């Protein structure tokens, strides 16, 4: 039977978020320059020291962490893809990690930071971030897991019921044998049929 796609992740514009992080870093660097660097330049020039390296260093210090965070965030989240079908969850997780998980391999699902989904498997936690429809995807995967659990429970109960009913049938035929209503051959034949 062909699998049916249930839901697909809608992604945020990661470039836009990266640029916002860099703009915030630029604004903080600009403020840092006027609050700390300009007064420092005035004191350096009065002592006759070189200003160029002082200014360059102090412009990089506040901006560099924002640049790195923006770049890492972009590289980690720019290729996120998540598709949920009635049989599996697959796509590309953070840092370009390709994933193909049959529903039987998923033990739990939860939401995480950065509008993310975290899927628990026997081999570890797999995260997808920056998903606009995160809550809908979480709901769909949760419902699929509950449905799978219900089916497994029903199958286990039916197996237990069938073994109990087979045992009951054998006990009935044993009573018939003991009361000499049937022969040993008839009892053995019926027991063999029930235990197949």
Contact 142, 120 (CB under 8 A): no
Instruction: Give domain status of residue 51, yes or no.
Output: yes
Query: Per-residue pLDDT tens for 100-132?
Result: 999 888 989 999 888 999 999 888 889 999 999
Query: Residue 156 has what pLDDT?
Result: 61
Instruction: Give domain status of residue 104, yes or no.
Output: no
Give the pTM: 0.62
- pLDDT of residue 157 exceeding 60: no
Q: How confident is the model at residue 150 (pLDDT cuts 50, 70, 90)?
A: confident
Q: Number of structural domains, the chain?
A: 1
> How far apart are alpha carbons 113 and 116 in whole angstroms?
6
Instruction: Give domain status of residue 87, yes or no.
Output: no
Q: How confident is the model at residue 44 (pLDDT cuts 50, 70, 90)?
A: low
Contact 7, 137 (CB under 8 A): yes
What is the mean predicted confidence (pLDDT) over 20-34?
90
Give the structural domain span for 22: 12-77
């Amino acid at each position: 039977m062909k699998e049916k796609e249930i839901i697909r992740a809608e992604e945020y514009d990661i470039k836009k978020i990266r640029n916002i992080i860099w703009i915030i870093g630029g604004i903080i660097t600009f403020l840092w320059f006027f609050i700390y660097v300009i007064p420092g330049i005035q004191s350096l020039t009065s002592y006759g020291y070189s200003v160029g390296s002082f200014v360059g260093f102090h412009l990089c210090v506040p901006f560099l962490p924002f640049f790195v965070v923006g770049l890492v965030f972009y590289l980690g989240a720019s290729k996120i893809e998540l598709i949920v079908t009635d049989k599996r969850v697959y796509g590309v997780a953070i840092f370009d990690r390709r994933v193909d998980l049959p529903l039987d391999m998923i033990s739990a699902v939860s939401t995480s930071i950065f509008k993310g989904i975290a899927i628990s498997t026997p081999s570890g936690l797999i995260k997808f971030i920056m998903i606009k429809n995160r809550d809908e995807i979480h709901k769909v995967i949760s419902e699929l897991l509950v449905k799978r659990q219900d089916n497994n429970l029903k199958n286990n109960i039916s197996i237990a019921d069938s073994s109990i009913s087979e045992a009951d049938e054998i006990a009935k035929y044993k009573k018939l044998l003991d009361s000499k209503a049937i022969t040993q051959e008839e009892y053995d034949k019926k027991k063999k049929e029930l235990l197949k």
